């Protein structure tokens, strides 16, 4: 059993397709189609990540193919218009790349993806070299943990840590990722804490807390 928090290195893909800064436009499209990915890290030297080319970076070439934008659009879409004329990864890429380390928690990686509106993040080592890629689907892998594993973690990380031993009078049941806590506890003020900690366990879908206890009980 692995205790929380899970980190990016637990779920990331190690075999990564990447391109160099001189990669031609059509080669980038071919690689995305072949490997069914929406973005490619751009590397230089011995594998240092210098940017990312995504589908969004490629679309302006099609969008502005037969369009003659007015001056307002030109000022507002200056970056997209530049990418419409780009021929290589260096000209197309978004730089610096939005990256994470293998030790980044899954929760933080999810926040970065949401905040930056990206589907994939290059994972780098301390030297900035590519170590892997983590995607939205990778972050969802924690919800594939089996109920027995989740039960053990909630029992160990929540019940045993919060309440004096023995805590056999507290029942932990997990079904399809939903944990149910039932029983009597010494100190009702700890019940919201138990619920919050159980919800924080990676892979838990929801918490049903039916614990009872007296305020200030010892």
Write down the pLDDT at residue 128. 95
Give the position of tokens 């039932």.
182
Helix (H, G, I), strand (E, B) or coil at 20: strand
Other residues' Cβ atoms within 10 Å of the Cβ of residue 118: 19
Residues 6+ apart with CB under 8 A from 104: 7, 8, 112
pLDDT in tens, 73-105: 656 666 766 678 899 999 999 999 999 999 999
Q: In the structure encoding, which two tokens stand for residue 105, read together?
A: 């928690």
pLDDT in tens, 144-201: 999 999 999 999 999 998 887 776 789 999 999 999 999 998 888 999 999 999 999 9
Please answer whether residues 48 and 131 qualify as being in contact, where contact means their C-beta atoms are separated by less than 8 angstroms: no
Write down the pLDDT at residue 216. 56
pLDDT-derived band at 60, boundaries 50, 70, 90: confident
The secondary structure element, H or E, covering residue 59 is helix 55-63
Q: Is the peptide bond before 88 cis (omega within 30 degrees of 0)?
A: no
Q: How far apart are the first and last CA of the chain?
A: 31
Residues 6+ apart with CB under 8 A from 117: none
């Amino acid at each position: 059993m692995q205790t929380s928090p899970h980190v990016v290195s637990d779920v990331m893909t190690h075999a990564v397709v990447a391109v160099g800064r001189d990669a031609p436009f059509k080669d980038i499209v071919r690689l995305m189609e072949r490997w069914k990915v929406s973005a490619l890290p751009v590397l230089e030297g011995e594998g240092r990540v210098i940017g990312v080319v995504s589908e969004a970076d490629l679309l302006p070439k099609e969008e502005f193919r037969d369009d003659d934008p007015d001056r307002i659009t030109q000022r507002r879409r200056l970056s997209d218009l530049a990418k419409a004329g780009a021929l290589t990864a260096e000209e197309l890429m978004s730089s610096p790349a939005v990256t994470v380390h293998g030790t980044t928690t899954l929760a933080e990686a999810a926040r970065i993806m949401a905040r930056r509106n990206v589907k994939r993040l290059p994972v780098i080592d301390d030297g900035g070299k590519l170590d892997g890629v983590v995607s939205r689907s990778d972050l969802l892998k924690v919800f594939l943990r089996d109920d027995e594993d989740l039960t053990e973690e909630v029992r160990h990380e929540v019940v045993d840590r919060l309440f004096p031993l023995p805590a056999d009078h507290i029942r932990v049941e997990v079904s399809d990722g939903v944990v149910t806590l039932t029983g009597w506890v010494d100190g009702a003020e700890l019940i919201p804490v138990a619920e919050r900690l159980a919800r924080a366990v990676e892979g838990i879908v929801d918490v049903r807390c039916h614990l009872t206890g007296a305020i200030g009980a010892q």
